[in-house]
Amino acid sequence: MPSLQLRLLAVFPLMCVLSAPGQVSAVYSPEGKPLSQRVVAYWIEASLNTEAKTLDATESIEYRNSSSQPITSIPFHLYLNAFRPQSTFSMESLRDSFGISYGKEEQGSIDIKSISIEGYGDVSKSTRFVAPDDGNQEDHTVMEVALPKPVAPGEAIRLQLAFHDKFPLAVARSGYKRDFIMGAQWFPKVGVLWHEQWNCHQYHVNTEFFADFGTYNVNLTLPQRYIVGASGIQTGEQINSDGTSTLSFRGEDIHDFAWAASPHFQVADDVFVNSLGPVKLHALVLATNADKRKRYLATLKQSMQKFDEWYGPYPYKQITLIDPEPDSEIGGMEYPTLITAGADWWEPSWYHDGMDQTTIHEFGHQYWYGMVASNEFEEPWLDEGINSYSENKVMGSLFGQNTSHVNGRTFYSSDEEAQRLSYLRHPDEDPIVRAGWKFANSFSYGSIVYGKTAIALTTLQSVLGEPMLRQVLRTYFLRYRFQHPTGSDFFATVEEVTGRKDLEPYLVQAFQGTDVLDYSVDSLTSDPVDWWKNGRAGGPYHTSVMLRRKGTFLFPVKLEVAFADGSKQQAVWGGEDRWARFSWDTPSRAKYARVDPDRNVLLDTNFFNNSYSLQPDSTARFKLTNYWVFAQQLLAQWLSFLV
């Protein structure tokens, strides 16, 4: 039997022919033109061993130098090597107490069996592992190949690789659980030549991925009983005589390719007609969650409709939703044209914090990450933070502004508030714009990148108005889709669309600083003007309110004072000093004073000191005390039952 390399060399030209124009397109493109630069093209022939949880594959890559400088090396991401105990990802997981034991099953790897360059033959000896972020020589998630000859600008180079994957018992994104297998970050992926330099970071616990747009042609061979969902669209299926089948997929203008396989999937399809044409909604739902199919599809469709209306069209012909195996740590992840959601068996209709929120958030990543392909390593907030803001908007639109998370009889909560609470847990440890792997820990990363960014944008919305901010995001999307924008590009878009130059102080404090915003009503007094006269009743009253800026974040806030006769007085304070006093002489006594009465400044870290009422009301206190006393009594009765 010919060697793997020879077979690949024989197949490669055929693959190129098959990918020539005329083949079914996976995108809606005017006149069939590529939507992106298509820097790289992948052809992958893979064979999955579902028993051993391994995969053997050959990969052909055509890479074009789109920079103005010649390139002398090419780095590859070998993400599966993150699941080796010695990797940087493992060490950071240990640091953040993720509880991964890295037993034999939990270890994964990707081994490059061979690598050659067309015209130069085997270049295995020219490869080495590099650790550009932390110098950890045991971290093998980045492999650099020195080129025998530089590739000039505009020229292309063709490489052939053979590799062997060992999938781990899933602890994060990739791997298997029972007989479900998620092929994510499973192939050697070229880094990004960005700003004239290679950008290829190690896999960290707090980072995701960054790659160039291109095309993918993948043939996956696996047992026939498995049902597969993948990026792009399926272009063919071949039944083999050995009980396997080979499924063919093609993806265009995408920067990653993922797939999921399970014998327990049930297929549920639907169609959404957006502004470009019909999009196939392809949901693969586990048999145990069969009752969730309609809800998945409905939520996905509604999300597509909102994003299409607010930001722009979804140009791909299909979106695949994977319902992952429970307890697999694979749910809640995004890949171009494929998302993994996740549902619990008990998810009542009034609870949206599970499958609904996950589906909306992951679909949103098709825009912020999938098409606007920012660098998730260096500026994670550009996709996660902006997407979290979009998620708040979509969920509020679909499920009610205040009840978008939970809409129960005796309690409720909103997605927006949940983001704010996430932020409140670690409000001042790291700035939003920090690189992902440089955050203090995973908790700060989650709080700041997701929560603070979403809330900072919501607070910005209170200044600009929701329609204006939506226009900003729409412009940002349409301008930078299929590109790699930076934070500067985003801020420039904000200034350009709003026409405002005075936003810089806010943007700098909110995104680049760690300042905390907290305004409080320190005191409120409302006494008769001639207070020295005893036995006097009635007005006029002299009302005095003292505001304090407890944090270091300067932001103009509105003050509202309400009086017993129903009248109100308002004022605005810029927060320049540490405190300010406002006074009025009015016919009636004051009832309360409140900062930010419209609750626009969600960056304020303490809502409980934003107001002061002269007449105390202990209802809330007694209510909570009642719960506490009840809990203590119940606990004591249980303990006394035990002893």
Partner 1 sequence: MTIELQTSAVSPLRAKRPLPNLLLQGFQLGLRNWPCVVWTYAANLLFALLAGIPLASGLSPYLDHSLAATHIAGTIDISYLRELAIQVGDTGFVPMVMQTAVWLNMLQVLVLFVLFAGSVFVYVSSEPPRFSVLLRGGIAYFWRFVRAAIVAGFAASLILGLLMGIRGLLLDHARDVYVERQIFVYSAISAGLILLVALLVRLWWDLVEVYIVRNAMDGERSIVPALLPALRLLFRHFFRTFGSFLVAGLAGVFAFALCLLLWRLLPAHQVWIACLLAQLGLFLLLAGRFWQRGIEATLVMSADPPRIATDAMEPEEGAELVEEEVPTTGSTAYLAGLSEPTLRDLVLKLRTEPLAKPEVLSGPPEISEPDPVPAAPKPAGVSEPSVTRLDQHETKFPLGGLTPDKEPGRTEPVEKPKAPDNLDKTPHSEKKPLP
- Using CB under 8 A, list all residues that contact partner 1: 178, 286, 288-289, 325-327, 344-346, 402, 405-406, 409-414, 417-418, 420-421, 424-425, 592, 594, 606-614, 616-626, 628-630, 632-637, 639-641, 643
Least Cβ distance, residue 80 to partner 1 (angstroms) = 23
Contact 549, 518 (CB under 8 A): yes
Amino acid at 404: S
Element (H, E) at 478: helix 466-480
**β-strands 318-322, 197-199: how paired?**
unpaired
Least Cβ distance, residue 264 to partner 1 (angstroms) = 9
Least Cβ distance, residue 594 to partner 1 (angstroms) = 6
Least Cβ distance, residue 322 to partner 1 (angstroms) = 15
Least Cβ distance, residue 625 to partner 1 (angstroms) = 4
Sheet containing strand 214-223, strands side by side: 121-122, 109-117, 156-166, 54-64, 40-49, 214-223, 244-254, 233-239
Least Cβ distance, residue 554 to partner 1 (angstroms) = 22
Q: What is the largest CA-CA distance in the chain?
A: 110
DSSP state of 486: -
> Closer to partner 1 at the Cβ: 349 or 640?
640
Note the Cα 81 to chain centre separation in Å.
Answer: 23
Q: What is the DSSP string of 575-615?
A: --SSEEEEEEEESS-EEEEEESTT---TTBS-STTSEEESS
* Omega of the bond leading into 380 within 30 degrees of 0 (cis): no
Number of C-alpha atoms within 13 angstroms, CB side, residue 238? 9
Task: Classify residue 121 by burial, with Cβ atoms within 10 Å: 0-12, 13-18, 19+.
Answer: exposed
> Closer to partner 1 at the Cβ: 149 or 178?
178
Residue 560's nearest CA partner among 551, 572, 577, 574 is 572
Question: What number of other Cβ atoms are within 10 A of residue 298's Cβ?
Answer: 15
- Residue with token string 């974040």: 553
> Closer to partner 1 at the Cβ: 162 or 593?
593
Q: At what angle do helices 293-310 and 355-364 cross, to 10 degrees?
A: 40
Q: What is the DSSP string of 51-76?
A: TTTEEEEEEEEEEE--SSS-EEEEEE
Least Cβ distance, residue 117 to partner 1 (angstroms) = 44
Least Cβ distance, residue 60 to partner 1 (angstroms) = 38
**β-strands 611-613, 189-190: how paired?**
unpaired
Least Cβ distance, residue 328 to partner 1 (angstroms) = 10
Q: How far apart are CA 468 and CA 490, in angstroms?
A: 14
> Closer to partner 1 at the Cβ: 171 or 433?
171
**β-strands 197-199, 71-77: how paired?**
unpaired
Q: At what angle do helices 487-498 and 381-399 cross, to 10 degrees?
A: 50
Note the Cα 630 to chain centre separation in Å.
Answer: 40
Residue 344's nearest CA partner among 263, 286, 391, 271 is 286
Least Cβ distance, residue 401 to partner 1 (angstroms) = 12
Residue 377's nearest CA partner among 209, 498, 502, 255 is 209
> Closer to partner 1 at the Cβ: 142 or 285?
285
Element (H, E) at 454: helix 453-464
Q: How far apart are CA 499 and CA 492, in angstroms?
A: 10
Q: What is the DSSP string of 293-310?
A: HHHHHHHHHHHHHHHHHH
Least Cβ distance, residue 284 to partner 1 (angstroms) = 15
Residue 543's nearest CA partner among 516, 567, 508, 513 is 567
> Closer to partner 1 at the Cβ: 72 or 633?
633
Q: How far apart are CA 515 and CA 428, in angstroms?
A: 6
Task: Please compute Rg for the chain using Cα positions.
Answer: 28
Q: How far apart are CA 35 and CA 16, in angstroms?
A: 19
DSSP state of 172: B
